[in-house]
């Protein structure tokens, strides 16, 4: 067993993970570093419509400056992260692709400019309310159907007698 460990030891990197609670930082604090990882952290913070609103208010020129010299392979990673975040928020695919295209073109000033305002929590509440209304209407329809069926049966009995 020890022999196998020593054989593979040179292939195992020696590193540590550092967890960074990005929610504990303001957008301005994250932008101070002015690097690509800051942009990724800002994108990871997008969870609600309030987060999107705050992101839209960031200085676009500063974001564009950060991405100006970003190598294509890193830009593709940022684009993938943004796309995943947008789809997770149920942004329509066409709209998400449009937003992601702006990052690829490094036009951060236009990033969320035309994005329709969304309130994810309100939409979830509306969906739940609509579902409850539909279920209640279905139950009422079933009850009426049962009552009408009983009335028809009673009418049939009276006609026979």
Q: Where are the domains of the chain?
A: 2-110, 119-161
Residue 29 has pLDDT above 70, yes or no: yes
pLDDT tens column, 46-89: 887 778 778 778 887 888 888 888 888 988 898 899 889 888 88
Complete DSSP assignment for 89-111: TT--HHHHHHHHHHHHTT-GGGT
CA dist 59 to 28, 62, 65, 96, 108, Å?
Answer: 9, 5, 10, 21, 9
pLDDT tens column, 81-135: 988 988 888 878 888 888 788 777 766 655 555 555 556 666 777 788 888 988 9
Q: How confident is the model at residue 161 (pLDDT cuts 50, 70, 90)?
A: very low
- Give Cα 118 to chain centroid, integer Å: 11
pLDDT tens column, 134-154: 899 888 888 887 777 655 555
């Amino acid at each position: 067993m020890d022999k196998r460990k020593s054989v593979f030891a040179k292939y195992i990197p020696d590193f540590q993970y550092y967890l960074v609670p990005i929610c504990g930082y303001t957008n301005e604090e994250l932008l101070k570093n002015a690097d690509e990882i800051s942009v990724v952290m800002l994108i990871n913070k997008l969870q609600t419509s309030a987060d999107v609103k705050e992101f839209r208010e960031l200085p676009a020129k500063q974001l564009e400056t950060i991405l100006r010299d970003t190598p294509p392979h890193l830009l593709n990673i940022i684009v993938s992260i943004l796309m995943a975040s947008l789809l997770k928020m149920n942004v329509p695919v066409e709209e998400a692709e449009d937003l992601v295209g702006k990052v690829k073109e490094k036009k951060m000033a236009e990033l969320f400019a035309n994005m329709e305002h969304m309130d994810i929590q309100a939409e979830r509440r509306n969906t739940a309310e609509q579902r409850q209304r539909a279920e209640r209407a279905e139950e009422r329809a079933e009850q009426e159907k049962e009552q009408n069926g009983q009335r028809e049966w009673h009418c049939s009995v009276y006609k026979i007698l």
